[in-house]
Amino acid sequence: MNTLTSLLLAGALAASLGGPAHAQRSDPENPDANATWQQLRTTMFQARTIDTAADTIISLEAPERAQDAAIVPISIRTHVEQRPERFIERVYLMIDNNPSPVGAIFHFTPASGRADIETRVRVDAYTHVRAIAEMNTGELYMTTRFVKASGGCSAPPGKDMTAAMASLGKMRFRVEGEVEPGKPALAQLMISHPNNSGLVMDQLTRMYTPAHFVRRIQVSYAGQPVLSADVDFSISENPNFRFYFVPTGEGELKAEVIDTNALRFETAVEVDAGS
């Protein structure tokens, strides 16, 4: 088990010790007060300083009121050039009131170009969502948004359920826009996967759908890592990630995805940035 997996587990454990996450109330005006966050902060960052006046480093876009609690678009933007001597090494995405509040830990390198990431998450209740940037030099910066989302009868008719399972692990991977050598290029990775949390009961059978979700994603360009992520079931079904990498010429952009059933999926796209 690597350190980051232990951190994810620690996060889940902290939440379970904190009692049912659903029962917690968050004060929109006071993001520091949430008990889950206070436990996570101690577990993960100990006494380290976290700078919350972080607008020049990291910002987070999330809808104030979610259209659908099961699929809330989250966009993390960073404002630091990824240079070998100083870059954002990790971005933590946390959702205080989710059953497993550490939704994802993204790892970046200088070859990422930018440490931006866009994805979609499940939100169980009114909650703060946090993005924390950790520099390679150790400083921590946090930005916070309050998101109002709650379940309803949100499940649409099961028109595509069989199709969804038939296409399990299918991926679409592409690079968007014009690609220029040395300039960060935007890539999108889409994975067909139900990302079942294991916490949802089928109302007809009264059985819980077993947990089965994407656990790890690794992306490399020309053999160099540009993004890796430890993720869990806070990520919505059909996980979707938009991120950057720096093309240098011809090279293969390759993605590898591993889920909780130890299924492994791979895809790649040839990038020709000219030179």
**Sites of contact with another protein (CB under 8 A):** 61, 63, 65, 67-68, 71, 73-75, 118, 120, 150-160, 163-164, 167, 170, 172, 176, 188, 190, 192, 203-204, 238, 240, 242
CB of 208 vs another protein, minimal distance in Å: 14
CB of 171 vs another protein, minimal distance in Å: 9
SS3 86: strand
Q: By C-beta, is 40 or 235 nearer to another protein? A: 235
CB of 89 vs another protein, minimal distance in Å: 24
CA 223, 242, 274 angle in degrees (round to 5)? 50
Amino acid type, 146? F
CB of 160 vs another protein, minimal distance in Å: 5
CB of 161 vs another protein, minimal distance in Å: 10
Q: By C-beta, is 158 or 223 nearer to another protein? A: 158
Q: By C-beta, is 39 or 238 nearer to another protein? A: 238
Q: By C-beta, is 205 or 275 nearer to another protein? A: 205
Distance CA 127, CA 77 (A): 20
Distance CA 140, CA 50 (A): 5
CB of 259 vs another protein, minimal distance in Å: 16
Q: By C-beta, is 188 or 260 nearer to another protein? A: 188
Distance CA 165, CA 172 (A): 16
Handedness of CA 254, 187, 56, 30 (dihedral sign): negative
Closest CA to 123 of 197, 41, 215: 197
Handedness of CA 90, 96, 98, 100 (dihedral sign): positive
β-bridge pairing 88-95 and 171-176: unpaired
Q: By C-beta, is 73 or 225 nearer to another protein? A: 73
